[in-house]
Copies of this chain bind each other. A is one copy, B any other.
């Protein structure tokens, strides 16, 4: 049913099969060539040729043969950890962060710079971020990790390398990708923080559904604002103008008060951090958590109230998107012990879903977005190794 827009040519065939093989190695390593052939449907000879290209490119490595039952023992194939690495960056309301991840997804560098960025000049914050990125780049170099690119998580809308607007940070039209690109010499992508958190949770959160990693779910990130990331078939759903997934502005109280976004009765207005803290009469989230642990009734009531509103929004999300799971992240993960019961009850009160999705709690917390950002860079190489080979043409004859 898909409308194809590109001609299929031999190079594309090869590219597609390289991705198929590398994807299989990434998914089920260690594997043998024979297993890859069996699982992908390619012949052994094709797999051999493809694998040798991937090894030459440094993306795959052979390791010691495993003990076999019968016959010639298989040579195990793994992702080459040092083959490539990704730099993840994050600008958020109250911190900046950087992370370097190797090809297997293991963090090799991680640093968080806590500081409230609301009052500061944009240029100043960008300079700090570039500094952070440079330090991370040097660390990668000293570990022998060639960076393939960078991806920046931003708490707002981004289009083509520029920050369009960030409601809680007050930025508008900031060409952030260029700034970071010039500072580090890397290809830089920008992406919404909630979307990257969802991807991070999918890749590194350890959640499963029917024994396989989650591929269709909604991630709720409760930072200063409430963000949402919709993942469909393993990919972020962005909508027509990259504005999809704004869970924080789903209507949960049609007659409710005006929200900063211009709407009325939005989830963020009714259950955002500001509202919860006001109702509980607390100053910080840390205070609130302590109060909940101590059994403070006002704090618990505030959290339960937010949980109910969250349930209303999620009920609509469930009827509209039919996901297999909902993952609660950020502040909602911290508050989960006192929140989830009310949320689950509210969901089932407001929706008649036959197969209600599972309500999961994030295991990555606030690191989800940076990890997702670094992972995005690495995954891009895994999803299209041919592009990587082309850029770093090593021994190909005929060209130049």
Listed in ascending order, the chain A residues whose CB lies under 8 Å from chain B are 1-10, 12-14, 16-17, 19-20, 23, 40-42, 46, 216, 228, 230, 232, 234-235, 237-247, 249-254, 259-266, 312-313, 315-317, 319-324, 349-355, 357, 379-380, 383
Assembled-state Cα–Cα distance A1/B8 (Å): 17
Number of copies: 2
With a cutoff of 8 Å between Cβ atoms, the chain B residues found around residue A40 in the complex are 7
* Beta-carbon nearest neighbor of A228 in chain B: B320
Known: A232-B237, A261-B352, A263-B315. A8 touches B12 (CB 8 A): yes
Q: Of B8, B230, B241, B350, which is within 8 A of A264 by CB?
A: B350
Some 24 contacts from A to B, beta carbons below 8 A apart, are: A3-B383, A4-B20, A4-B23, A5-B20, A6-B41, A7-B17, A8-B12, A10-B13, A13-B13, A216-B239, A238-B322, A239-B321, A245-B320, A246-B319, A247-B319, A251-B350, A251-B351, A254-B312, A254-B350, A263-B319, A263-B349, A263-B351, A313-B316, A317-B320
Beyond A243-B355, A249-B351, A252-B254: 11 further Cβ-contacts under 8 Å? A1-B380, A1-B383, A3-B23, A3-B383, A237-B321, A238-B322, A241-B355, A244-B320, A245-B322, A251-B312, A265-B350
B216 lies within 8 A of A240 (CB): yes
* Beta-carbon nearest neighbor of A39 in chain B: B5
With a cutoff of 8 Å between Cβ atoms, the chain B residues found around residue A350 in the complex are 251, 254, 263-265
A322 lies within 8 A of B4 (CB): no
Q: Is the interface of A mostly helix, strand, loop or mixed?
A: loop
With a cutoff of 8 Å between Cβ atoms, the chain B residues found around residue A10 in the complex are 13
B322 lies within 8 A of A243 (CB): yes
* Beta-carbon nearest neighbor of A270 in chain B: B254
Assembled-state Cα–Cα distance A99/B141 (Å): 65
Known: A13-B13, A322-B244. A249 touches B355 (CB 8 A): no
* Beta-carbon nearest neighbor of A217 in chain B: B240
A315 lies within 8 A of B251 (CB): yes
